[in-house]
Structure 1
Amino acid sequence: MFEADEEFHKIIFEGSDKKRIWSSINDVSTEFQRIRMLRLTANSSWNNIFNQHKEIFDAIRNKDPERAEEYMKEHLNMVIFDKEKVKESYPSYFK
């Protein structure tokens, strides 16, 4: 599932002509990627993640950048929101 999530975000950034930003995020933020991977591995709410991806995709397809941005922020904020929970569940993965 992590690979599919990763590919989705990569395509969004490439389609927005922001490929370098995605590369920078991946290069700089090892902890962010680790949290995403652990969260996706442990997360059983795949339908929620899929629905968020669909909302983002639909907004882009409908040429509604404001809504796409809103959905993307909401989706990415889930990682930030779950950060402490993931760190508590997997303390050996973090300093």
Structure 2
Amino acid sequence: MKGLSGAETLLRVLRAMGVERIFASPGSDWAPLWEALAKLHWPDVPEYLSSRHEETAVGMATGYAKATGKLPALVLHTTVGALHATMGVRAALHERIPMVVL
């Protein structure tokens, strides 16, 4: 992965883990990630699906995992985003739904 940025490497590692979809409410916390997503494309990196709120993003990731059996990734804003997603992530944990939470 020589010559890749940290964000590009993260996306390729997620894809190597089997992650096909990233769910998020976009924000400035992850600017390098958004730039890498604009530069790189499926199937080399996961496909990005946007949500207007972290709770919705968790619901989308949970539904995706339940419907497909595939591992989703969830990207959250620092502090407030994690707070908004807490109950949905907890519910997914109790239902034993796997997901990568960043």
Superposition TM-score, scaled by structure 2 size: 0.24
* Bigger proportion of residues as strand: 2
Which structure has the greater CA radius of gyration?
1
More RCO (CA 8 Å, sep 6+): 2
* Bigger proportion of residues as helix: 1
